[in-house]
């Protein structure tokens, strides 16, 4: 049976059908690329406040302040903190506006932020304390206004921007318990900022 030997050898040598695997990759690659592009567009760089009680407290430099932007349902309030500066100097940096998000004066806010940035050029951090019902679109518009502002055009007619406060940190208010109001971290209205 000489042909049995050839039949056995023919059964051993078979080609793999790679066409289904190639089709899978041809379909999978465009979906992965589309997902990566949407991820790039939809990200707003920010961080969450953290509290490290073990670190030694040292006075911050006087060329920098940390700004707090409190967003209430009927107002926005900007204030500054720095343990090395006098309270009068910090109060002069405050800015507030009453009204719903549709009536916010973002140009006025940008002007105040630019003024603060001019006086304290090393400042980078803005702590945002939004209320729970704040919509996504007003929040993004507010963050865009605090991050940078247009200052002119380049030689190609494209707008140029000046950085204001690109370091955004999100935090929130935590209601204080009765009897609180004294000690470290207590706010004037009985609320304390949660850090973490």
| Confidence band of 4 (pLDDT split at 50, 70, 90) | low
Residue 4 domain flag: no
Residue 124 domain flag: yes
Considering Cα of 34, then 40, then 41, then 44, what sign does the dihedral take? positive
The continuous run of DSSP H or E covering 133 comes out as: none
pLDDT higher than 50, residue 184: no
| Confidence band of 61 (pLDDT split at 50, 70, 90) | confident
pLDDT higher than 60, residue 127: yes
Which CATH number characterizes residue 148's domain? 3.30.420
Which residues constitute the domain of residue 95?
47-51+61-194
Residue 89 domain flag: yes
Residue 27 domain flag: no
Largest separation between any pair of C-alpha atoms in the chain? 107
Structural domain count of the chain: 1
pLDDT at position 32, please? 83
Residue 29 domain flag: no
- Which of 77, 62, 60 minimizes the C-alpha distance to 119? 62
Of 73-77, 148-152, 177-181, which gets the smallest average pLDDT? Answer: 177-181
Residue 123 domain flag: yes
Residue 67 domain flag: yes
Name every residue whose Cβ is closer than 8 Å to that of residue 28 and which is 6 or more positions away in sequence: none
- Name the pTM for this structure: 0.61
């Amino acid at each position: 049976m000489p042909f049995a030997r050839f039949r056995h050898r023919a059964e051993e040598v078979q080609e793999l059908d790679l066409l289904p695997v190639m089709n899978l990759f041809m379909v999978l690659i465009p979906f992965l690329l589309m997902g990566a592009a949407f991820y790039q567009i939809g990200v707003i760089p920010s961080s969450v406040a953290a509290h490290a009680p073990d670190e030694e407290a040292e006075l911050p430099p006087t060329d920098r302040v940390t700004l707090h932007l409190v967003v209430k349902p009927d107002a926005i309030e900007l204030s500054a903190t720095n343990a090395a500066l006098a309270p009068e100097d910090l109060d002069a940096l405050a800015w507030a506006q009453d009204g719903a998000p549709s009536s916010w004066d973002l140009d006025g806010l940008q002007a105040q932020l630019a003024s603060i940035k001019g006086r304290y050029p090393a400042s980078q951090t803005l702590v945002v304390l939004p209320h729970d019902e704040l919509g996504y679109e007003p929040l993004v518009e507010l963050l865009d206004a605090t991050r940078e502002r247009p200052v002119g055009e380049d030689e190609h007619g494209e707008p140029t921007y000046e950085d204001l406060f690109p370091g955004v940190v999100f935090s929130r208010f935590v209601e204080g318990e009765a009897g609180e109001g004294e000690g470290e971290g207590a706010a004037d209205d009985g609320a304390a900022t949660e850090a973490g």
